[in-house]
């Protein structure tokens, strides 16, 4: 059975729903409000919101539409980390870099999930070298105690146990499960 074709109303015993569509959307709205408040006193500095493709795509689009700031720039990056497996490669490569200069801008990197921290650690190093005014991380999920590379996550949606592997709302296993509107746990 392919999870991409699953009926959201079918609570199949093949998977466990970790976060429902409603729970995700509620948290996304809270994060958007928090970010809007944090940058409201700096309206003249562009706020660059960077989507980490492909996993963060749905989170990013739901979140960014709700962030209130007069000077938002949307950017997209892609890094290789997992390929089709479940273990981080530890040497992530940049496949798509930002297009606009980041110097003197407020930057928030928007990610689906932080596991070992290798991907975000590598990305932050590259972005920091572009001299932004500020650099923050917003991740929908953070795996507790899994970080081998310390990553400062200013905005965390949900913290989940380290042993879980999740799919849905952008997150996949070898491309499976990405388009589910909710998040499931798989074995």
Smallest separation, CB 186 to ligand IMP (Å): 8
- Establish if 172 lies at the interface with Mg ion (CB under 5 A): no
Pick what 184 binds: ligand IMP, Mg ion, none; C-beta below 5 to 8 Å, kind-dependent. Answer: none
Which residues are identified as catalytic? 115
> In this complex, which beta carbon is closest to ligand IMP, that of residue 106 or of residue 119?
119
> In this complex, which beta carbon is closest to ligand IMP, that of residue 53 or of residue 73?
53
> In this complex, which beta carbon is closest to ligand IMP, that of residue 35 or of residue 180?
180
- Establish if 112 lies at the interface with Mg ion (CB under 5 A): yes
SS3 of the chain? CCHHHCCCCCCCCCCEEEECHHHHHHHHHHHHHHHHHHHCCCCCCCEEEEEEECCCHHHHHHHHCCCCCCCEEEEEEEEECCCCCCCCCCCCEEEECCCCCCCCCEEEEEEEEECCCHHHHHHHHHHHCCCCCEEEEEEEEEECCCCCCCCCCCEEEEEECCCCEEEECCECECCECCCCCCEEEEC
Task: Give the interface with ligand IMP as residue ranges (CB under 6 A).
Answer: 55, 81-82, 88, 111-120, 165-166, 171
Binding-residue total with Mg ion (CB under 5 A): 2
Pick what 124 binds: Mg ion, ligand IMP, none; C-beta below 5 to 8 Å, kind-dependent. Answer: none
């Amino acid at each position: 059975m392919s999870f991409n074709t699953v009926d959201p109303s079918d609570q199949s015993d093949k998977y466990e729903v970790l976060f429902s569509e409603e729970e995700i959307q509620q948290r996304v709205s809270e994060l958007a409000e928090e970010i809007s408040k944090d940058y409201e006193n700096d309206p003249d500095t562009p706020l660059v919101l960077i989507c980490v493709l492909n996993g963060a795509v749905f989170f990013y689009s739901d979140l960014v539409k709700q962030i209130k700031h007069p000077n938002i720039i949307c950017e997209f990056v892609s890094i290789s980390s997992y390929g089709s497996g479940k273990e981080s490669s530890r040497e992530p490569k940049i496949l798509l870099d930002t297009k606009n200069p980041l110097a003197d801008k407020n930057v928030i990197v928007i990610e689906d999930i932080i596991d070992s921290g290798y991907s975000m650690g590598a990305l932050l190093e590259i972005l920091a070298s572009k001299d932004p005014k500020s650099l923050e991380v917003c991740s929908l999920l953070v795996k507790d105690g899994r970080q081998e590379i310390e990553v400062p996550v200013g905005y965390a949606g949900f913290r989940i146990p380290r042993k879980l592997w999740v799919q849905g709302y952008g997150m996949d296993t070898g491309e499976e499960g990405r388009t589910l509107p909710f998040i499931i746990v798989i074995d």
